[in-house]
Structure 1
Amino acid sequence: MRKVWLLALGAFTLGLDAYVMAGLLPVVADDIGTTVSLAGQMVTVFTLAYAISAPLVAGLLSGVRPRVLVMAALAVFTLGNAMTALAPALGALLAARAVAGVGAGVYSALSTAAASALVPAERRGRALAVVMGGMSTGTVLGVPVGVLLAGHAGWRSTMWLVTALGAVALVGLSVLLPPVPADPPVSVRARLAAVTDRRVAPIVGVSFLAAVASLGLYTYLAPVLASAGGVSEVTPYLWAWGVGGVLGSVLAGPLVDRTGKAATLVGAVMAVIVASQALLPPLASVAPPAAAAALLVWGAAGWALQVPQQHRLLALRADRGTVALALNNSALYLGSAAGSALGGVALAQGLAPYVLPWAAAGAAALGLLLHLYVRLSAGRRSRHAACLGTLGSYEHS
């Protein structure tokens, strides 16, 4: 598992880089002489590059040794962050964030596939949880540290911290990461088949809707809590969400390994997300500290979801696991971007912020319904196949 922990260090750096920029936007905008809204486009560029690069590169280079690709992706990510720290103006900054996003997207997909290949099948859930826990811990611990560092030494110092962490993970992996079995080369037709696979597409669709609900709403927690409960200091509530995320992402893996029921766990987790988001506004209005409990549960469920999701994709597409994981990671980031964009449009149109958690709960409920429908359909197909098998046996007897 030592090698998996090194992969988790890279994931920690990704989690820090993906979320810390939102807290640095005003400082960055002031430093390079632009507006916050224009500086915010570096988050959009990073997200889109992440989402597009993961399935594209993982598919085109699926025949290349994963060890080489993992280190190359982490090197590109680290280079992109160094470019960010040095960027003199908005154009260079946007280009640097695109480079970092490409490296992050490819590394995220390949690191989870490599982690699962480095351990026996019965410990796959734990390995995936370690990598996912690295990303959630980067959000919980790294983001406050990064913002604090930026306040004392400037935002570029935070980016140099991200660069240094990426370099440490890169050196460690270059020395200690063993060879990982490569997927066979994947043709364009096969990559498109993975997108339209009736077993893969619904799982990825659930991840997309969960990201719309969970990661999208996270962007607007401050106005939501202020509107629902008059909360002016949002930091403790963000910590509650983040601590829940670490607990959920770490505990989900052993639970999947112990029960072997990844699909059942997905349904339970989605139901928890719906309930915790729906309860957030009334809890905040009645007793604001009680909203922290809902955020803790929501954070735990939101981050726990991807461990069984990844486990299911690897089980369904053992021959194209990396492509399936890349598609899932793209769905997560596209869902996050869509959720943030829709929330911003809703607020711009005059929607009260406290309504957003109910809208997010609705998106999560759609994901739960999609999951349940697919499971019921699969159950009917299995029973039908069993009946045909029994009939065939009877006819031959």
Structure 2
Amino acid sequence: MRSDTSGTGVTPPLAPSVPDRLSAPTLAALTALAAAAFITLLTEALPAGVLPALSTDLGVGESAAGQTVTVYAIGSAAAAIPLSAATSTWRRRRLLLITMAGFAVANAVTAVSAHYPLTLAARFVAGVAAGLVWAMLAGYARRLVPGPLQGRALTIAMAGAPLALSLGVPAGTLLGQSLGWRVAFWTMTALAAALALWIAVAVPDFPGQPRGHRAGVARTLRVPGVLPVLCVTLAFVLAHNILYTYIATFLDRLGLGGSVDTVLFAFGVASVAGIVVVGARIDRRLRLLTLAGTVLFAVSATVLALPSGNALTVHAAAALWGLGFGGAASLFQTAVADAAGDAADTAQSLLVTLWNAAIAGGGIVGGVLLDALGPGAFPWSVLALLAPVLAIVTAARRHGFPPSRPGATEPSSPSAR
């Protein structure tokens, strides 16, 4: 029996406890969302690993075949805001299942297509589905858990992205080289279909927003903290994609053209480590983690800017880059959702649009830099973009990147961990 310490003679009720661990069903649901993130990013990047065979079969040059990645990003960027608004009242699981069906169909068409325009159309459809997935993924993950665990849940859901880059793309490339690029896309079709079954069984359903309750873009941008997070996202992801898109060209300049796979592997493994670190601390150290990730990326770019050409140094720089970038999606999506409040869904669609615009912009800006200044300009451009990122995060202490998330608490005792 609890004693009364208030002097009122009435025993106060116990404060509601918040679990410090995610339940097994919740982990299963979050893992399914992570698999959705994995499939979307792997579908986007897979053509890069099978580009020579893809271009030969379609009868186009490799530069034209590379546009299958660009048109995917354009589809994602174009779809995120209007389609998210159009489907805002739909039940969430049904919408997620429809996107998985879209991936299955688009990858199947890509696998059988012998015509370049049809392949581009299929890739655009896949990009549209990806835009919807990314726009709803953060909100879905956050609704599965109580407030203090939302950052951790989002980090798990986002883990599929670095895994796609570090494991999925090399595995898809190996499969494409061994059995043909069409087999790789058929495999993606099968994975999307299997994931749809998993989602139907393991992921709880949630209602959409009531009609008329979705915040408009202009109103969302006026919410304190939203615009700083979006600006940071655009600059950070653009910096990443300028270097990542042309990493083979940059390494070739250093005399390390044969080490592209190992450098990207170092980046990918470190990205996974970054996800783990962010997942453990995001609810209580969001601001610190964002600053640390930016600094790590900047240190990596500084090392790469120095003309050493030492393989060990370059691999170490790639690992620092991956460690800083791995948790970026979780940090930015958590920050913008916390800042936006009731306008979180619209803010997420804006972030997805800017993220994909930065992916496409990385290829365009990097190409201009390559033609004008050469590959040596890439790390310097990264540093130029990361300087305002550090300034904005530092200034947005109250709104955008606060020291800790609203409602986050430290574990009450060792036994609760």
The equivalent residue for 1:322 is: 345
The equivalent residue for 2:13 is: none
Deviation of residue 378 (structure 1)? Answer: 8.3
% identical equivalent positions: 31
The equivalent residue for 2:286 is: 262
The equivalent residue for 2:392 is: 370
What is the RMSD computed on CA atoms of the aligned residues? 2.0
1:201 and 2:227 correspond? yes
Unaligned runs of 5+ in 2: 1-26, 402-417
Deviation of residue 186 (structure 1)? Answer: 4.9
The equivalent residue for 2:33 is: 7
Instruction: Select which of 68, 88, 94 maps to 2:114.
Output: 88
1:274 and 2:298 correspond? yes
Contact 1:231 1:288 in 2 (8 A): no
1:75 and 2:101 correspond? yes
Deviation of residue 187 (structure 1)? Answer: 6.6
Contact 1:245 1:302 in 2 (8 A): yes
Contact 2:38 2:161 in 1 (8 A): yes
The equivalent residue for 1:28 is: 54
1:189–1:12: structure 2 CA closer, same or farther, 3 Å change rule? closer
Instruction: Select which of 306, 319, 322 maps to 1:296.
Output: 319
1:184–1:339: structure 2 CA closer, same or farther, 3 Å change rule? same
Separation of aligned partners in 1, 2:398 and 2:197: 47
Residues 208-357 of structure 1 mapped to structure 2, 5 A cutoff: 208-257=234-283, 260-282=284-306, 285=308, 287-349=310-372, 351-357=373-379
- 3-state SS, counterpart of residue 375 of structure 1: coil
Unaligned runs of 5+ in 1: 380-397
Deviation of residue 189 (structure 1)? Answer: 6.8
1:251–1:339: structure 2 CA closer, same or farther, 3 Å change rule? same
Deviation of residue 230 (structure 1)? Answer: 4.2
Higher mean C-alpha displacement, 17-26 vs 167-176:
17-26
Deviation of residue 377 (structure 1)? Answer: 8.4
Aligned length: 375
Off by >4 Å, runs of 4+ in structure 1: 186-189, 376-379
Residues 37-48 of structure 1 mapped to structure 2, 5 A cutoff: 37-48=63-74
Deviation of residue 78 (structure 1)? Answer: 2.1
AA partner of residue 182 (structure 1): G
Separation of aligned partners in 1, 2:163 and 2:400: 35
Separation of aligned partners in 1, 2:319 and 2:90: 41
Deviation of residue 270 (structure 1)? Answer: 1.5
Higher mean C-alpha displacement, 54-63 vs 212-221:
54-63
Separation of aligned partners in 2, 1:105 and 1:24: 23
1:188–1:110: structure 2 CA closer, same or farther, 3 Å change rule? closer
Separation of aligned partners in 2, 1:363 and 1:182: 37
The equivalent residue for 1:359 is: 381
AA partner of residue 358 (structure 1): W
AA partner of residue 96 (structure 2): V
TM-score after normalising by structure 2: 0.85
The equivalent residue for 2:45 is: 19
Separation of aligned partners in 2, 1:82 and 1:157: 10
Separation of aligned partners in 2, 1:198 and 1:81: 40
Higher mean C-alpha displacement, 319-328 vs 159-168:
319-328
Separation of aligned partners in 1, 2:47 and 2:322: 20
- Looking at secondary structure, tell me which structure has more helix per residue: 1
Contact 1:11 1:132 in 2 (8 A): yes
Contact 1:133 1:249 in 2 (8 A): yes
Contact 1:278 1:357 in 2 (8 A): yes
Separation of aligned partners in 1, 2:331 and 2:375: 32
Contact 2:89 2:207 in 1 (8 A): no
The equivalent residue for 1:137 is: 163
Separation of aligned partners in 1, 2:183 and 2:212: 41
AA partner of residue 269 (structure 1): G
Separation of aligned partners in 1, 2:185 and 2:351: 27
Contact 2:278 2:327 in 1 (8 A): yes
Deviation of residue 318 (structure 1)? Answer: 2.6
